[in-house]
Structure formats: structure tokens, C-alpha cells
Amino acid sequence: MFEYEKLNDLDIIVYCGGKCGSSTLHNTFKKNSFKSYKIHDNGYFKYLCSTFKKDIGKTIFDVIDFNVKQGKTTYIIDSYRTPIERKISSFFQNIHRHISDYNNIKLEEIISLFNEKFLYQLEEYHSIDEVMNHYGLDTFTNFDFKNKYNIVKKENIVFIKIRFNDISEWSNILSTIFEKGIQLYNDNITNIKPINSLYSKFKQHYKVPNKYLDENLLNDSNFIIYNSKEEQEKYINYWKSRQ
């Protein structure tokens, strides 16, 4: 249930793209005694306000501004995930919407439909860029591979970007950022859902088109920012080796 009135005393807004660990981050912060709220983008926030008739016309930026005016530091955190895995996970999160009769379709057909209709469209946004642009900040153009997080502060707002690939280290990374011990609590994991069997078979047999690797991926600025040269080469070689 969406309750706008409970958003006026937040510590953290998980302003994070779909299938990038946002539920795990939100769950982790809540269980570590932070007041946290999770949203993917401002458009969806406005949709929630309208659907539940709560402060219609309000934006997520109004929520941020209100919390900042209370004199407290408000943290905005996002996570980057490599695109192919993110797209596949997103596809299976809502496969019943994408392919209503997926249980009656062969795996090869599902793979073909994914490549034709969803590979180039799903999860093409990066949430923190939207909110940084709103507050007049340049988006990140490089990543701190040593510390494994980016951080920038404007007045009482702290913007943080981490990577899904480092999830095994998130406890240590977040503990460093927030200067307190933080235990990780996973949530919304696809491989423990009923769809897991098909999801696993898909990942085992999936082949990404060369066109996507040679054109789209190599022109993906976020892929270049959040992966080192070595990681980029290893990632592309891995997917090409499966062809």
C-alpha cells in the first residue's frame, strides 16, 4: 500500500533501476534501522500518487526537498548492473506480462522473442542520472574501482552509486559509506521464485546477438563507465564464446 504521508522522515531513498538490487538495498537499510523508501523513477512515483489518490501531482523530488528542509542528510543510492543480466532478470520478473502463454512455448521461441522484442528495450534507464540532473549535477563519468562506490554531495543530499557485481561486498561497502556496521539482507531473488526452472534453462541456452555486442554494448556509456577495460573485454568475450 502506497502511503505518501510516511515519506516525510526518510534517511535513504533507494532510487534504483529495476533488477539492480533495489529490493535488497531497501530491505538491508530497513533491517539496519534506517528509514528507507524504494522507487525506480519519478514517472512511477507520480503514477502511484495518482493511482492511490495520495497528493496527486507530487513528485519524488518534492519528497526529497521536504526531507532536506528538515535539516537532515538525505541519501540517494543507485546500483549499476551489467545490461544483459539485468534485461534477462527483468524479462522473467514480468514474463507473464511479456508472454502470457509462456508455459506453452518452446524455450527456443522464448529466446527468439526476447532478442527480437525485449533485448533492445528493457531496462535502458539509469535512475540516479534522473535525480542528479534534477538537482543540477553532472552525472558520473567514471567509477572509483578501488573503493567500489561513487559519492557526491550537494547541500544535504548525498548521491551514491554502487555496482550489482560487487553485491558480495555490499555489506563492507555500505558499512564504509555510512560509517557503521551494516549487514546485508537479500530480497526479490529470481532464482528462488517459481519461475526459476525456466529462468535457469534460459540462462543456460541463451545467445546474445552479435549486433547487440558489437554496436549497442560498445556504445553504452554506462557499460564503459562502470566496468574497467579488463571487465569490458572479459564480459564481451564471455558472451561471444557462447555463440
Span 97-124, pLDDT tens digits: 999 999 999 999 999 999 999 999 999 9
What pLDDT, on a 0 to 100 scale, did the predictor assign at position 1? 58
Lowest mean pLDDT among 5-9, 32-36, 127-131, 159-163: 5-9
What are the angstrom distances between the C-alpha of 182 and each of 14, 15, 56, 93?
16, 19, 35, 27
Phi, psi of 55 (to 5 degrees): 50, 55
What pLDDT, on a 0 to 100 scale, did the predictor assign at position 10? 96
The DSSP bridge pattern shows strands 150-154 and 157-163 to be antiparallel
Give yes or no for residue 190 having a pLDDT over 70: no
Tally helices (H) and strands (E) across the chain: 12, 5
Per-residue DSSP letter, 193: S
Cα(35)–Cα(13) distance, integer angstroms: 9
Average pLDDT value for residue range 171-190:
91
What are the angstrom distances between the C-alpha of 134 and each of 4, 12, 139, 142, 201?
21, 17, 11, 20, 41
Cβ proximity of 83 and 223 under 8 Å = yes
Cα(138)–Cα(128) distance, integer angstroms: 11
Residues in the chain: 243
Give yes or no for residue 191 having a pLDDT over 60: no
Concatenated DSSP letters for 58-126? --HHHHHHHHHHTT--EEEEEEE--HHHHHHHHHHHTHHHH-TTGGGS-HHHHHHHIIIIITTTTT---
- Average pLDDT over the chain, rounded to an integer: 94
Question: 174, 135, 134: which is closest to 151 by C-alpha?
Answer: 174
What pLDDT, on a 0 to 100 scale, did the predictor assign at position 72? 87
Q: Indicate yes or no: pTM above 0.85.
A: yes
Question: 75, 67, 61, 60: which is closest to 28 by C-alpha?
Answer: 75
What are the angstrom distances between the C-alpha of 226 and each of 41, 126, 150, 231?
20, 12, 10, 9
- For helices 60-69 and 127-134, what crossing angle results, to 10°? 60
Span 198-241, pLDDT tens digits: 999 999 999 999 999 999 999 999 999 999 999 999 999 999 99
pLDDT confidence of 187, banded at 50, 70, 90? confident
Give yes or no for residue 179 having a pLDDT over 60: yes
Compare 4 and 189 and report the one with higher pLDDT: 4
**CA angle, 107 then 111 then 114, to 5°:** 135
